[in-house]
Homo-oligomer: A and B are copies of this chain.
Amino acid sequence: MTSVAGRRAPARVGDPVAAIDTPALVIDLDAMERNLAAMAAFAHAQGLRLRPHAKTHKSAAIAQLQRAAGAVGVCVQKLSEAEALAEQGVPDLYISNEIVDPAKLARVAVLAGRVRLAIAVDSHLGIDRLAAALKAEGTEVDVFVEIDVGQGRCGVAPADAGALALRVVSHGLRWAGLQAYHGGAQHLRSAAERKAAIEHAAGAVRAAKASLALAGLACPLVTGAGTGTFALEAASGLWGELQCGSYVFMDRDYADNHLGPEPLGAAPVAFEHALFVKSQVISVGAAHAVVDAGHKSHAIDSGMPKVWQGGFEFRNGGDEHGILTPVLHTEPGAAALPSLGDTVWLIPGHCDPTVNLHGSYVGVRGGLAQGVVETVWPVDARGCLT
């Protein structure tokens, strides 16, 4: 077996799907490539920059596929993610999050000497410390001021954007624009709720731009948006760069969003499930079957995975088990329990933290039923928390 990062990988290149050990993180490469192309085509058609969020996949190989499809670079959420992807050759990285620790900022400054790097700020202290670290190292980064566009997490109030941007400029740092991402809007189920949330976010962006104008500063770029809302940000005319991440894989939670009238009048951009956990039935009871995949193999923060084959409900069986029961309202006889050793494909509830649980991806070409393992990729930035 191929060893990835000291761990036995669940498959070898050339294996049939049946030979993939369980549980394993499996990519349907054909579906993933269609997702990559669909998002790239959308951004190109809208004249927008695409900087996909690599917090989803944590993979240099996938980041490079996104760049090859036209992405300007990728976002990450943590410095150590940026370091891991830079080490694997990704040349343009944006840490779309705040860092205030001087020891971490010293590493940011070092990394900025190796790749094109950007970072978000939302405090005067953070800006001052960033400036000190960059000055000590003699390097530069692009600096985005994050505004709170409705998420209620990081970011300053829009009216404070001007003062922070002036602080960025006063240190001679590269002023890059606004970070404006509404994470909470991505999974609002109805199209109307998502539309209202992004209208609110757009109002915040307008207010922040007014604050910048009052401070005598232009706004080179507004960056943000996610898989649940990107067409709305695009339609607003305010955002210049899209940060969608999950589109590459599509999880159960995103698929549960109800699609609505497209804000741009075109057909909705459709994404396919491309990420699966392959599991195996290890125990069968009178009215349930047990698979070898629990929440140490798929994240359940956004709910349970969906059984891809249909006919079964997945119940939480703890860290290492999942419990399958027939969906009662299916046709009679359609939901006999699977047998010992049977393969069960799971569509994770939330792809980002699911990926983080695995050491490697098994990339399959030709579909999950009859395909062949084309690649085994390490999850390069797995567990990069700092």
Contacts and interface: CB of A to CB of B under 8 A. Distances in A.
Interface of A: 5-8, 10, 19, 21-24, 55, 77-78, 80, 83, 97-101, 103-104, 122-123, 125-126, 148, 152-155, 183, 280-285, 288, 290, 292-293, 295-297, 299-301, 316-321, 323, 340-341, 352-353, 356-359, 382-386
Given A103-B21, A153-B317, A283-B123, A386 B8 contact: yes
Contacts of A101: 21-22, 280, 341
Nearest to A284: B123
28 contacts: A7-B383, A8-B80, A8-B83, A21-B103, A21-B104, A23-B385, A97-B282, A97-B320, A98-B282, A98-B283, A99-B282, A100-B282, A100-B340, A122-B283, A152-B323, A154-B283, A154-B290, A154-B321, A155-B283, A183-B318, A295-B353, A296-B353, A296-B385, A301-B316, A319-B352, A319-B353, A357-B357, A358-B385
Contact of A384 (B7, B280, B321): B7
Contact of A100 (B148, B288, B341, B385): B341
A305 to B, nearest CB: 13
A321 B385 CA distance: 11
A267 to B, nearest CB: 30
Given A23-B386, A101-B280, 7 more contacts: A5-B5, A8-B80, A24-B386, A123-B284, A152-B288, A295-B301, A297-B385
Main SS at interface, chain A: loop
A83 B152 CA distance: 45
B153 A290 contact: yes
Nearest to A384: B7
A368 to B, nearest CB: 18
Contacts of A323: 152-153
* Copy count, this protein chain: 2
A83 B317 CA distance: 24
B296 A356 contact: yes
A7 B83 CA distance: 10
Given A153-B323, A341-B101, A356 B353 contact: no
A249 B124 CA distance: 39
Given A101-B341, A296-B356, A386-B23, A283 B5 contact: no
A133 to B, nearest CB: 14
Given A6-B6, A319-B55, A154 B383 contact: no
Highest count of chain B CB atoms <10 Å: which of A77, A154, A319: A319
A3 to B, nearest CB: 12
A127 to B, nearest CB: 11
A10 B103 CA distance: 11
A357 B358 contact: no
A321 B153 contact: yes
Contacts of A19: 103
B385 A77 contact: no
A200 B169 CA distance: 69
A8 B81 CA distance: 11
A55 B122 CA distance: 40
Contacts of A299: 295
A24 B103 CA distance: 15
